[in-house]
Structure 1
Amino acid sequence: MDNIKRENGFTLIEVLAVIIIIGVLGAIVIPKLGSSTANARRKADVATAHEVKAALDRFQLETGMYPKDDDLTVTEGTVTSSKLIPKYISTLDKSTTQQIVPEENKGFGVVKIKADATDPTDIVIPDTKTNTIMIYLFGDGFAAEVRAYDESLDNVLWTSAN
């Protein structure tokens, strides 16, 4: 009986222990990877919002005012402007934004705001948010603000007002 040849290899218990350990590690790591991807997409949209604000500021420095309400038009998340694009920024379309949102919320939105007639410095940004990156323009070229929103359009990720 002492001469029974033992086969080299792993027992069923050892193999099951390794599978359980790999499963636990996978359950911890996979959600972290998913959240880091979403975080990277948010940061990319914030960077895009920074670029848009910088382009608007360059426009303002050269022309003396921000684009007026008729200088920018938006159609299905794509902004067109013969005065701003491509001289100050190359493109503002749906492919520029990165967050995973419904198709109607991709890209850019433009809100044209009229100043208060009694006090033109009293500016109130409306709660209008249709796209992940919103451009708020004042009709007289007095000011412009850019905001980047999260996937749900509930939280401001970045605003040029700060």
Structure 2
Amino acid sequence: MQFEQRKGKEAQQGFTLVEVLLVVFILAMLSAIVIPRLSASSEIARRNADISTGHQVKSALDRYQVENGIYPKTMEIIRDTSGNITAAPLIPKYISKLTQDNTQQDAAAGKKGFGVASLSADGSIPDDAESNLIMLYLTTDGSAAEVRVYDSGLNKVLWSSAN
């Protein structure tokens, strides 16, 4: 009799296979819901970080224009092939640095970071202008400047200082 009681107690100490499978199924369903939302929110955060960087660049260009009467000219801004910008009149006095590390979205090779292109005389952007995640469009005479932030595919403008 004593042996049968011990056997009954031991049988109730574990989980059945059905209970374990049910817990695994519930965890799988929860992760299927949560993981895509987390990855989508991180992509939105990267976009918003690049938009914020675009605002900072435009503010730096505007401060430069207020103090000097003109924007930096296209020829004063030097961009290397990896999306880093060197601009003696602008960096580091108005903004600390403009390197590809400042941009957060995952873009194609060579398209991460900053780009520089010339605005046409009427202030429009040429169709054949090269594009990076954050583009500085300047005139050759320093009369205008525009900053645009593109999505990771470089086919949609997320923010423009012209708006």
**TM-score of the alignment, normalized to the shorter chain, above 0.5:** yes
Higher-Rg member (1/2): 2
Over the residues paired in the alignment, what is the CA RMSD in angstroms?
1.6
Share of identical aligned residues, percent?
52
Partner of 1:105: helix, strand, or coil?
coil
Tell me the alpha carbon deviations over residues 95-128 of structure 1, each in whole angstroms, 9 at most, x when there is no partner. 111111122001100001241xxxxxx3222233
Partner of 1:134: helix, strand, or coil?
strand
The offset of 1:8, in angstroms, is 2.2
How many residues are matched?
156
Partner AA of 1:18 in structure 2: V
| Counterpart position of 2:55 | 50
Greater helix content: 2
Unmatched segments (≥5 aa) in structure 2: none
Unmatched segments (≥5 aa) in structure 1: 116-121
Matches within 5 A, 1:2-81: 5=8, 6-76=11-81, 77-81=83-87
Q: Output the TM-score relative to the length of structure 1.
A: 0.90
Tell me the alpha carbon deviations over residues 27-77 of structure 1, each in whole angstroms, 9 at most, x when there is no partner. 111111111111111111101000000000000000001111211111121
Cα distance in 1 for partners of 2:146, 2:27 equals 49
The offset of 1:129, in angstroms, is 4.3
| Counterpart position of 2:144 | 143
Cα distance in 2 for partners of 1:80, 1:50 equals 19
| Counterpart position of 1:119 | none
| Counterpart position of 2:88 | 82
CA shift in 2, pair 1:68/1:31, >3 Å: same
| Counterpart position of 1:97 | 103
Q: Output the TM-score relative to the length of structure 2.
A: 0.90
